Amino acid sequence: MAEQPQPISPVKNFFAGGFGGVCLVFVGHPLDTIKVRLQTQPKPQPGQPPLYSGTFDCFRKTLVGEGVRGLYRGMAAPIIGVTPMFAVCFFGFGLGKRLQQRKPDDVLTYPQLFAAGMLSGVFTTVIMAPGERIKCLLQIQAATGETKYNGSLDCAKQLYREAGIRGVYKGTVLTLMRDVPASGMYFMTYEWLKNILTPEGRSVSDLSAARILFAGGLAGIFNWAVAIPPDVLKSRFQTAPPGKYPNGFRDVLRELIREEGVASLYKGFTAVMIRAFPANAACFLGFEVAMKFLNWVAPGL
């Protein structure tokens, strides 16, 4: 069984989740850029080496060719989206827990926590899908040397002009396929680790910063272990020219398996896992610190 503090305050979760999301993006975006470039690099011609031989080669070439700013390319879109997205994410998790409780003090099982986390993934997709689309397009345009979009807002405007709202939300189904099960794993793992790391007779809310960082970091790794294959498909689909994949993710999957094998579904694995621990550790620490601050300054909020 797992112990969760109740009740959930939507307002506090909004601000605390937003702050945690900002921490996550700032720490994790450079390796997210590397991940997307590895996932979307073109297939090399026969006899030619790939554009990037691996995570560290991609990191080196990006840093040498574009400087530190290149690693933070496209960060505006996720930064703009993280406050409402993580607010909705943490609120959705709290709502999912509440919906499964018969009484406010009911303690949920880990499968119930997984289900609550899955609900949060559904909630966040509405905000996440367009932000992911814009981010991926900006990240790969710098790698190809073409400059079609002059920033996140210009990218959104062009997508809407070319294909309407469907163009902005291209890849939503794949974002759902990635985020729903991954969010379930994310929150369930975090709650499980918090309970394991809490000394007997102590409250989960009294965990040290180091233990919160450890629990949050491992939760991020478990999250991405589930999310990587659909994330590869999503990145490829969202950055493809219009009409390339008329049957959606099924065409992307068939092409990847046929041309590059099953291992292609784990492109960017090293970059993802290197990023997952510090980024999500920062997210949960930011969330917990913000919640304690809000409980101190506004206990009745």
Q: Give residue 8's pLDDT band: very low, low, confident or very high (50, 70, 90).
A: low
pLDDT tens digits for 98-156?
A: 888 888 778 889 999 999 999 999 988 888 888 888 888 887 776 666 778 888 889 99
Instruction: Give domain status of residue 151, yes or no.
Output: yes
| pLDDT higher than threshold 60 for residue 217 | yes
Six-digit token string for 214: 């450890």
Residue whose C-alpha is closest to residue 152's, from 162, 138, 141: 138
Six-digit token string for 38: 């590895």
pLDDT tens digits for 197-211?
A: 998 888 888 889 999
- Angstrom distances, CA of residue 62 to CA of 31, 34, 57, 133, 225: 11, 8, 8, 21, 25
* Rounded Cα gap, residues 189 and 166, in angstroms: 34
CATH number of the structural domain spanning residue 158: 1.50.40.10
pTM recorded for the entire structure? 0.77
What domain count does the chain have? Answer: 1
Instruction: Give domain status of residue 61, yes or no.
Output: yes
Residue range(s) defining the domain that contains residue 97 = 10-296
Six-digit token string for 247: 């049957």
Instruction: Give domain status of residue 301, yes or no.
Output: no
Instruction: Give domain status of residue 108, yes or no.
Output: yes
Instruction: Give the residue-averaged pLDDT of 276-292.
Output: 92
